[in-house]
Structure 1
């Protein structure tokens, strides 16, 4: 396996993880004021994301790569669009925000799954990325349930 290629792939996942953290920080105060009982789970997801980020950085550096600890341009554009959309006084901002979180989690799951399916990682990286994927799926399920609950309320 080529350590340089592995570092590139892991950097792509690092960008996604940074997008995820920035997205979660964007949600702060938009939904959780109304659903304060979910705040603990939300904080746990942010904490998990930061641990995932550090694990990816360590994997990249262990393979001789340089971690690009930034968010993606696409993620920044998406967050700006969401902020713009939420600035208009029409529609249910909480439902819209939750829909965007679910959308983002699904995209992260797809990216992580694709990396694992391509088989470009070494065994240690595969193990770590597989665990991250499990956590992403768990997070997606939680947010999806919240989204469905809110739609039915």
Structure 2
């Protein structure tokens, strides 16, 4: 039988892992989303931006995977059903809009804002060990920069179409 203290430690561990798994899943979804957007983009600078973002999200996933393994847990290996639905929605939307770069950017910013919110909520609602906190804060900072970049790209997208 576990003591109250042991049970509390186990619950804290499980909560920590669950939160990291959720962010890992979000990054798998984001990587796939950027790759999907890359297929639909026309402008070469936008394509380069999207490719860079897909690589960045792959790196985020690898970092989270490592942190989960450091906690002696098995990381998830794929994204969420919600992410799959979002990519399907992008396919349907681009079929009807003619897949212009502005529509691609709109979907990117929508996805990045959702990632931003999830990271902010996770960091606000939980205490993480310093190493994990540092990884998450760095990733959050990069996502904020991406949101700003996408907004700037959206402002100049009219020149692409």
TM-score, structure 1 normalization: 0.89
Supply the distance in 1 between the matched residues of 2:126 and 2:67 (Cα, whole angstroms): 16
The within-5 A match list for 1:3-152 is 3-31=13-41, 33=42, 35-88=43-96, 90=97, 93-151=100-158
Give the whole-Å Cα distance in 1 for the aligned partners of 2:94 and 2:127.
Answer: 39
Question: Measured at CA, do residues 138 and 4 of structure 1 come closer, stay the same or move farther in structure 2, by a change above 3 Å?
Answer: same
Say if 1:3 and 1:64, in contact at 8 Å, map to a contact too: no
**Which structure has the bigger radius of gyration?**
2
Note the residue ranges of structure 2 that are not aligned, 5 or more in a row: 1-8
Q: C-alpha root-mean-square deviation of aligned residues, in Å? A: 1.8
Instruction: Note the C-alpha offset of 1:151.
Output: 4.2
State the distance in 2 between where 1:122 and 1:102 align: 30
Offset from partner CA, 1:115-151 (integer Å, 9 cap, x none) = 1111232221111000000111111111111112124
Alignment match, 2:5: none
Name the SS for the 2:39 alignment partner: coil
Q: TM-score, normalised to structure 2's length? A: 0.85
Q: Which runs of 5+ in 1 are unaligned?
A: none
Aligned length: 150
Structure with the bigger percentage of helix: 2
Give the deviation of 1:91 after TM superposition. 6.1
Report if the CA contact (8 A) 2:31-2:55 is conserved.
no
CA drift of 1:70 comes to 0.9
Q: Distance in 1 between matches of 2:98 and 2:36?
A: 18
Superposition deviation, residue 37 in structure 1:
2.9
By relative contact order (CA 8 Å, sep 6+), the higher-ranking structure is 1
